[in-house]
A and B are shown apart, each in its own frame.
Chain A
Amino acid sequence: MTGLDRLNAKLAKLKNTDAADQTVTGGTDSILAILLSEIDETILAREMMLINEAGDEVKLLVAGRRLLRVGRPGPRNDRPPEEPSPDASEDEVFSDLIAAFNGPVRDFLDRASEISIAAQRPHYRVDPTEIGCSADILAQALSESAQPIVADDPIAAGLGAAVAGLRLSGGDVAETVGDPALAERLIAFAGSGLPALDQVMGRDPSQPGCAILPAPEPRDLLLACIAAGEDKALILAPGDTISRLVSLCRLSTA
């Protein structure tokens, strides 16, 4: 089975084919994740066509493990004057691609009751210097739009999501936030479990690192350690914040 066959089989499973004319949002995130993975695995240029049950399609141009364009294939200079020029900055291109991916592409997937995907080599030359968005950048943007959480200071962001947290600096507790009783549990963890957790995280201090341990069912609480530089945040957070913390960890460790 080719990679494309596998993807189509996956898409067919993810979309509810009995839900015609219904906005299906439950599967969209999973399909977007699959698309991101496809982008990440595509080296040679190809046009990917997302096709709904009515035959409407959205085209993506992908090359070099980057999304180059959404909905406007063709030679690079063959474009309407209102679109970014080939000399647009990286930030402008990223902004346009992210807006298109998170807007029209997501809307198209939400509205479709059946989605298939086809791919072909473009019949035109793709400029190898054309700026594109990696799957990591797109994933970060999708995470940010779904769960606004800042990663400029992952320690502060982690503490902000916590019901109780410790900021540890060089092994000492520099700050305590939230419920004092829960913070006491974290202080106990810092003494008994953190050295072993540090070993597991085994990181270079110049690289951020994250570990998340959800409580067993009903997963009402989770323990997380977010490390950046010499500082760490050790937090207890509600179980339903796991998506936010995963987004934060993706952003801070990307």
Chain B
Amino acid sequence: MAPSAKIRSLRRSTPGCRVIAYVDLSARLVLYADSDESVPQEVLDALCLRGTRLLGGAVADAAMQALAAASPPREAILFRNGAIEAFIRASGGSDEALCCVLSPVVALDPFLAAAGAEIDRLAAPEDAQAAQVPERNP
């Protein structure tokens, strides 16, 4: 399944999930975004920037120290403007992340688990993804 279809599927399987942006944190770049309604690029860029700051910038570095963790936080949750924003970075040091805007009523735990699994699949090298596809019988 194409990454865009995977992201669309994740968003549509979560009622109340308004926007999912697939971003590259180091480039501060929105690679793809899915939403029911058109979202201005400036809004997506600002969402990506918040994700970058929380998961990759000064906040992440200071949080890693405060948490005495070996790596920066992989997830961040922000409550702003009557919505929840969830930021989930791929594991293994990848710069790819999902930046999501959710209705306040969304159950966060299952969503974070699903989004974490999805961003790991999206960020996996192509050869690793190919290895996950079952071989066809000759």
Contact A135 B79 (CB under 8 A): no
Write out the residue numbers on chain A whose beta carbons fall within 8 Å of the beta carbon of B126: none
Q: Chain B binding site: helix, strand, loop or mixed by DSSP? A: mixed
Give the interface size bracket for B toward A: 35 or more
Kindly list chain B residues whose C-beta atoms are within 8 Å of the C-beta of A195. 58
Interface membership of B105, Cβ < 8 A: yes
Cβ–Cβ contact B73 & A213, under 8 A: yes
B interface footprint on A1-44 (CB within 8 Å = 1, 0 otherwise): 00000110010000000000000000001100110111011000
Q: Which residues of chain A come closer than 8 Å to B70, judged between CB atoms?
A: 216
CB atoms of B65 and A30 under 8 A apart = no
Least Cβ–Cβ distance between B78 and chain A, in angstroms: 5
Indicate whether B61 reaches chain A with its CB closer than 8 angstroms. yes
In the assembled complex, A54 has its CB within 8 A of some CB on chain B: no
Please classify the interface of chain A as helix (H, G, I), strand (E, B), loop, or mixed, using the class held by over half of its residues.
helix
Chain A 78-91: CB-based contact to B (< 8 A → 1; otherwise 0): 00000000000000
How many of chain A's residues have a CB under 8 angstroms from any CB in B? 51
Using CB atoms and an 8 Å cutoff, list the residues of chain B in contact with chain A.
12-13, 15-16, 50, 53-54, 57-63, 65-80, 82, 84, 103-110
A34–B78 contact, CB under 8 A? Answer: no
Are A210 and B103 closer than 8 Å at their CB atoms?
no
* Contacting residue for A215 out of B69, B106, B109, CB 8 A: B69
Partner of B103, one of A37, A209, A253: A37
CB distance from B45 to the nearest CB of A (A): 14
- Say whether, besides A188-B65, A213-B63, A254 and B104 are in contact (CB < 8 Å): yes
Does A64 lie at the interface of the complex (its beta carbon under 8 Å from any beta carbon of B)?
no
Instruction: Determine how close the nearest CB of chain A comes to the CB of B95; give it in whole angstroms.
Output: 16
30 pairs, CB–CB < 8 Å, chain A vs chain B? A6-B15, A7-B15, A29-B107, A33-B107, A38-B15, A40-B16, A185-B68, A186-B66, A188-B65, A193-B59, A193-B61, A193-B62, A193-B63, A193-B66, A196-B57, A197-B54, A200-B53, A201-B80, A209-B80, A211-B54, A211-B79, A213-B76, A213-B77, A216-B73, A216-B74, A222-B67, A223-B63, A250-B79, A250-B84, A253-B104
Q: Which residues of B contact A202 (CB under 8 A)?
A: 80
A152-184 interface (Cβ within 8 A of B) = none
A249 to B75, CA, bound (A): 16
Residues of chain A within 8 A (CB-CB) of B13 are: 10
CA distance A210 to B65 in the complex (A): 20
**Once the chains are docked, how many angstroms separate the CA of A30 from the CA of B105?**
11
